[in-house]
Structure 1
Amino acid sequence: MRHCDDEVLAALALGEPVDASDAAHVAACERCAHEVAELRDLQATLVDAGPAGPLVAPPDGVWEAIDTQVRAEDDAASGSVVPLTAGRRPRRAPDRTFAGWVVGAAAAVGVAIGGVGVALALRDTAPEQSLVAQAALADLATEADAGTARVERRDDGTEVLVVDTAYAPTADGALEVWLIDPDVVGMVSLGFLTADHGEFEIPAGYDVTAFPIVDISVEPADGDPTHSGDSITRGVLEG
């Protein structure tokens, strides 16, 4: 399931209009609704502290510095397994309306927030997550790098497989994401890849140490739920 972007959650927390589809998603998604509630609590806390002056948006150079720092932190967290392919979804710039509000409100309660501190303040409102395992993906036809996969554990205990790879639709069928055991006998389907970036919740009871192989296959629309045997991308998760 793809969740709403931080900008959408911030807009909802501030009572600003959003797309109807995003509003419907938040209404049905416990995770996104929880994030909106936390942002509203943060807003209430800072507003109660009282304003110390007019809110001033930081210059553009600050956001460039923040983006550079966040990219460096994300790269370090993912390790040096393999660089992401050029098809990876581009990072969106921080929402300046909400970020400017956080900067000004934090200043009102005497919190000194530097360039990197603003990014951390924004990220603190998201659910905590920890890296469980990661894998370099390879194109099985050419053995070329094909992106990365990683398993993240959310703060509610659920585990999610995050796939970043160059997506290209095929006329032969849909691209299905699997976890497979080392004997290539037991396997579980996590869903279908429809973009360069995909997040798939791992069903309860499946341990990625027992199902460490990440496999992307071409599945024809033939009504057969089993693996087609036509794998195009694969990698092995390591903790």
Structure 2
Amino acid sequence: MQHPSDDELVDLVMETGEHQDALLHVRECAECSDALTQLRRALDAASAGAPVLEQPGEHVWQGILDDIDRADDDAVGSDTDPDDGVTDDRRPFRVVSETPGSGSGSGSGSGSAKRGVGRRRTFLAVAAALVIGAGIGRFTASPTNDPPTTATVLAKTSLTTLGDAPKPLGQAELMRSGSATKVQIAMNSLPSNGEIVEAWLINKDGQRMISIGFMHGAKPQQFVIDPRLVQKGYVIVDLSREPLDGNPKHSGDSIVRGTLPV
């Protein structure tokens, strides 16, 4: 039995249930088995979703078409590759495919039809290779050797309860990570009493304050701030319980507080 055609291999990949005789051949033919494996890999890559790629210039596609035309002209003149002596009918992927019943005596019409089929198939193959190849190249590009951004701690303070017997419950750190200034808050426990816990920076004058976000549990949490806040004296870190009353002001029910030494 001769090697299966491109269409038969595609049907096998798509598992249409057709061409069972071709399947038996592929199981015994290493060349066709390898071709089927490549087709399956291409299908898997395509189904995974292609990335958004830049549109190639018109000259790129024109160059591809010119190369295809030259290859088709050579293929129409001869169905045999002089380099290896193997006919195109025996290749799993070929530029020119003879349809059943057509032969060398079919005249110029047959040659034109073969050229059209070859051009279409080769164009699709090249286009698919460009898309999949570009996608793989985009995702497997070598990572940069830039060192990871490290955080520098500028100041830290213990967060303690208010009152006559203050109890430490956590810690706040002022840090710089790259170009970002952050306040990191970590709590040993967070007695929220079922309320929302809001984080604040209070000015040293004790009159002005600004919310920097909400706590979600006791684990370390970072809040990006404008460094000018610290320069203007917003250095007191405060956590408060806030009811869901729609009032954006501080409730006055502070859990802990600490002053950054800057």
**TM-score when normalising by structure 1:** 0.46
**TM-score when normalising by structure 2:** 0.42
The structure with more helix, counted as a fraction of residues: 2
